[in-house]
Amino acid sequence: MAREAGGEPARTADIFDPSAGQVQRRVALGGKAELDQAMQAALAAQPAWAATNPQRRARVMFRYKELIEANMQNLAELLASEHGKVVADAKGDIQRGLEVIEFCCGIPHALKGEYTTGAGPGIDIYTMRLPLGICAGITPFNFPAMIPMWMFGPAIATGNAFILKPSERDPSVPVRLAELMSEAGLPDGILQVLHGDKEMVDAILDHPDIKAVSFVGSSDIAHYVYSRGTAAGKRVQAMGGAKNHGIVMPDADLDQTVNDLCGAAFGSAGERCMALPVVVPVGEDTAERLKAKLIPAIEALRVGVSSDPDAHYGPVITAAHKQKIEGYIQMGVDEGAELLIDGRGFKLQGHGDGFFVGPTLFDRVTTEMTTYKEEIFGPVLQIVRAKTFDEAVELPSAHQYGNGVAIFTRNGNAAREFASRVNVGMVGINVPIPVPVAYHSFGGWKRSGFGDHNQHGMEGVRFWTKVKTVTARWPDGGFDLPRGSEDGGPARLGDSFVIPTMG
């Protein structure tokens, strides 16, 4: 780490306690020199790890799973203290990442290639799925456990070494995750955590020995990472922002829908790329009935510190982000949306300096409004009314983002048609946050995702590996095969079947 005179790091970033609004620690920021040092260790360690058979690599994953489970409470409390999400949400963050590790325990099966006997006269063809070498992941603040495990789990299980650059806002859990991987038996140099900002990101994107980069963050930065990384000859998957819609049909179970919306829109203070910040009731009657149920449900939400077991959600990540969210709320008012519940100026007793934003609800939001077009990334729910089913399908389909979408209905035909027609990468049917399980894949469309491969599942295996295809023909020679005795009787092993010595 670059240091000033006196031994202090040259550059640092503050890590806040969002509930208190105070700096609790600092992280030293690195750059190219730190990356070069880490790359030396990775390059030295990766060949032996790649040569380790997949079953032995899987055993490390099994042990890692056990260690994560044993440390779940401590990890969740550490995560909540830096991010601000409540401990229950923090455990969910860890659990969804752990599910990818569970998938990686079966990596020997996932790495099996294809085989064709007799593709031509005496010719067989088979494929081998091999690691790329050194890979990297650049992860966001909002899921400091899940997204790193989404990336380094499959990358390491398939035989790569991995450089993780977590968010500098809440880096302690990623460090702890790497320490536990070492305890699980992973060789030194295979998983390394480097802290930094744009300087470190650019160093990763430019380094010639890094073969693949995975990124999750805002769409503008995702596009930058994808463009710069691919220009440097790397394989890149870059997941961006979102503006997910929830379509509410007239026949929806409104009690269940409202419960789902409150969790999906306000859970984790809305700081999720799979949050549901837009609800689209179909028909005026549906809109009025939905609004009548939403208002009291939202007003009943409890905002608290991250350690409050009764809180529905906690503070947002920084004071700057709090200010940005409240700026969007004012923008919505200025644009003419109807503000039904205003979360600005929320103060939690005893925690007046915390980065809290109260739950906010807008009605009569239109597609021309900036607050509809852009991702707010906070506890703000917008109602956009649709007259017809076709209009409801068109809203998420035409939006610049295409991460997730949900429909709430009892009508199977409507749900089936919606899932088929909507121009979005992940669809939920009466499921408000349709994040697929670990053995399927995660990925959005349009400005929500750049690159040809999704996260985790077999898509993840394909992203972190390359395929070698072997076409083999073995000519006659070396020794004669027993074909039968001259008198037509059965051949004896000693007649002509001579196994040559291996000299």
Q: What residues act catalytically?
A: 273
Q: How many contiguous H segments (helices) and E segments (strands) does the chain have?
A: 17, 20
Bridge partner list, 48: none
Distance in angstroms (rounded) separating the CA atoms of residues 85 and 93? 10
Exposed / middle / buried, residue 473 (Cβ in 10 Å: 0-12, 13-18, 19+): exposed
SS3 325: helix
Between strands 12-17 and 134-138, the pairing is unpaired
Residue (of 238, 216, 218, 217) closest to 227 by Cα position: 238
Quick check: 55 and 108 in contact, CB under 8 A?
yes
Q: Can you give the length of the chain in residues?
A: 503
Six-digit token string for 468 = 């070698």
Distance in angstroms (rounded) separating the CA atoms of residues 296 and 298? 5
Quick check: 161 and 209 in contact, CB under 8 A?
no
Exposed / middle / buried, residue 5 (Cβ in 10 Å: 0-12, 13-18, 19+): exposed
Distance in angstroms (rounded) separating the CA atoms of residues 397 and 347? 38
Bridge partner list, 426: 404
Six-digit token string for 357 = 């934003």
Quick check: 23 and 15 in contact, CB under 8 A?
yes
Look-up of token digits 């969804």: 96
Residue (of 244, 255, 50, 81) closest to 161 by Cα position: 50
DSSP state of 124: E
DSSP state of 36: H
Report how far apart the first and last C-alpha atoms of the chain are (Å, whole number). 53
Distance in angstroms (rounded) separating the CA atoms of residues 141 and 80? 11
